[in-house]
Structure 1
Amino acid sequence: MLRAATRVAHHRLERRLGLPGVLRGLDDYRAVLRGMHGFHAPLEEALQAHPGLRAALPDLTARRKLPGLGADLRDLGAPVPARRAPIPDLATTARALGAAYVVEGATLGGAGISRHVRATLPDPAPQAVRFLAPYGGQTGPMWRRFQEALAAHDDDPDETVGAAQETFAALEDWLETEGVLR
């Protein structure tokens, strides 16, 4: 249900972001990672601090993306941006799960994009893919565990869907503001 309910927002963001095709060089890759950092920093901090989400996802700490994202930026010689995006309301566990769905779902596409970066961009980009492929060979199992947690905590599906849609919209707005979208 969540996938179907967010399909339009997901495809729109994906189309506007244009990955991996827009990654023609290191400057393009740096710009995308800087934009992602500005959004993921406040969102991940809020998700990590959410007690209901911690209970729903016991492996929440292992799902952190910011350390890898910061390391990727440093490897590419780019400063970690200080600007931070506004994020959706995460007042309930259902809403936190909706936002987490967007972040976790991105890891599936990120694996393919990381292969493109490794194959086409010059050094040091091939090593700077921790954000795109944070789970390595565990992407599939991590996604399945997330889906199980989502199904087990399906108390308010309307809130979950609403938060996921708002998260896609907030990410799109932020990346537009940062000049990352086409």
Structure 2
Amino acid sequence: MHSQAHDVGAPSLLETLRAGTALLHIALEKRLPFFSEHLDADGYLSLLRAYYGFYAPIEAALYEGDLIPEGFDPQLRVKTPTLVSDLHALGLNDAAIDALPRCTHLPSLDTPAACLGAAYVLEGATLGGQVLRREMARRLGLDADNGGAFLNVYGAETGRRWKDFLDYLARQPMDAQARPCAVDAARSTFSCFEQWLDSQEVLL
């Protein structure tokens, strides 16, 4: 029988994920053009098209598999439909959206730990979206009805859903082998996302 003493001094999974992705997070934020004086309506549409090209395949990989640990409700967390609604509001029809390029270089989501790492990045992005939403409303007049819903995808539930996700993370048993896997997947999610946005020429 295998047993392992719990190290009360060990960092939590959340702390490990934060530390492991901090530099990648900062680097990507610096390149996003939401606060650039040159970003206009066309540039915003290009950004959303690129976001869709990443979110659609990674959410499909994450939620259509059966590896993400129990307790995570994809119906509450999926963001691609909101991106589709925004693209519709900005003038794209279903055929145009279906024709958008999609990222094929995705993180490997082949273990429960890897799925948790990717989910951490996608869920954490909802917090940053609050700041971006206010900026896009001020500068481009965007709101939930005319193309800005993705930046406020959870609306008034943003804070509670983030807390619920952190509680969910804290309940996941993670051994010494699984934890690095979660961090690697989170880092890979950041890297793949930045490389994809770069390939779509929407970054600074």
TM-score for both structures, normalised by structure 1:
0.92
Structure 1 equivalent of residue 153 of structure 2 = 134
In 2, the alpha carbon distance for the partners of 1:123 and 1:111 equals 13
Q: Is contact 2:67–2:111 with CA below 8 Å preserved after alignment?
A: yes
- Of 25, 35, 39 in structure 2, the residue corresponding to residue 10 of structure 1 is 25
Q: How does 1:102-121 map to 2 (within 5 A)?
A: 102-121=121-140
Residue 162 (structure 1) aligns with: 184
The amino acid of 1:3's aligned partner reads: R
Q: How many residues end up aligned between the 2 structures?
A: 181
Higher helix content, 1 or 2: 1
RMSD (CA atoms):
1.9
**Which whole-Å CA distance do the structure 2 matches of 1:84 and 1:151 have between them?**
33
1:66 is matched with 80
Once the 2 structures are TM-superposed, how far is the Cα of residue 112 of structure 1 from its aligned partner? 1.2
* Consecutive unaligned residues in structure 1, runs of 5 or more: none
Matched, 1:84 2:102: yes
SS at match of 2:106: coil
Say whether the 8 Å CA contact 1:118–1:126 is kept in structure 2.
no
Gaps spanning 5+ residues in structure 2: where? 1-15
**Match of 1:53, SS?**
coil
Percent identity reads 39
SS in 1 for 2:43: helix
2:66 matched residue in structure 1: 51
Kindly state the Cα deviation for residue 56 of structure 1 after the two structures are TM-superposed.
Answer: 3.6
- In the TM superposition, structure 1's runs of 4+ consecutive aligned residues that sit over 6 Å from their partners are 123-126
CA contact (8 A) 1:52 1:92 kept: yes
* CA deviation after TM superposition for structure 1 residue 23, in Å: 6.5
